[in-house]
Amino acid sequence: MMTVLLLLLAAGEDFETCGERDGIAIASRKVPGSGFVEYRFTLETRGDVEAMCSAAFGNGKLEPGEPHVNLREVIKESTDARVTYEQIAPPMISPRDYVVSRTRTHPAPGTCRVDFVSADDAPVRPGLVRLKHLQGSFLFQALGGGRVRLEHRIHMDPGGALAPFVVEPSRERLGAEWLRRLAPRSG
């Protein structure tokens, strides 16, 4: 029943339901001017808003098991904002690099949000393709009774000469994997 409710919620805002993976509702919508869709992943689980939000914001260091991230270097940092240079090696495409800015906010009581957006602020290093665009967020909302609603949105254009049909299945799988990493295993 809960999965059906999450699928219905994910279908709002012009999102079209894509299905579900490991209890995570997946939806997508077209982005004007881009051949790549924006994904939205939602999950309800037990947990603590601040602990999950802190995990999403990270500490600026590469965490063990981060999917396809090879390098992260902090460029600038404050309590709730960080800029990093990162390198990724997704499956089936050339390694990419990008500079990304993250901010953590508390838009309402019982909620925490991490927004991220890429910038083209660093020279491209040899052997890497510059990621053209990356933008998204993680939102954590307390529901009461120890339950939390997690939402992850992401739009990415990997750059280079890649057709969306080549990378969208991997992007969908990876987005769900990132959200699952933030949810307690007992959820």
**What is the predicted pLDDT for the residue at 76?**
94
* Residue bearing tokens 């057709």: 163
**Separation between Cα atoms, residue 163 and residue 161, nearest integer Å:** 7
**What is the predicted pLDDT for the residue at 45?**
94
**Separation between Cα atoms, residue 124 and residue 122, nearest integer Å:** 6
**What is the predicted pLDDT for the residue at 164?**
76
pLDDT tens digit sequence for 89-136: 877 778 889 999 999 999 999 999 999 999 877 777 888 988 889 999
SS (H, E, C) 37-53: CEEEEEEEEECCHHHHH
pLDDT tens digit sequence for 59-99: 999 888 787 888 999 999 999 999 999 998 877 778 889 99
Instruction: State mean pLDDT over 152-179.
Output: 81
pLDDT tens digit sequence for 4-38: 334 444 445 799 999 998 899 999 999 999 888 99
**What is the predicted pLDDT for the residue at 91?**
73
Band of the pLDDT at 41, cuts 50, 70, 90?
very high
**Separation between Cα atoms, residue 74 and residue 128, nearest integer Å:** 19
Band of the pLDDT at 185, cuts 50, 70, 90?
low
The DSSP result for the chain, as a single string, is: -HHHHHHHHHT-TT-EEEEEETTEEEEEE--TT-SSPEEEEEEEEES-HHHHHHHHH--SSPPTT-TTEEEEEEEEEETTEEEEEEEE--TTS--EEEEEEEEEE--STTEEEEEEEEE--SPPPTT-EE--EEEEEEEEEEEETTEEEEEEEEEEE--SS--HHHHHHHHHHHHHHHHHHHS-TT-
Closest CA to 40 of 166, 170, 168, 137: 137
In whole angstroms, what separates CA 25 from the centre of its chain? 14
Q: Which residues, in sequence order, are bridge partners of residue 129?
A: 96
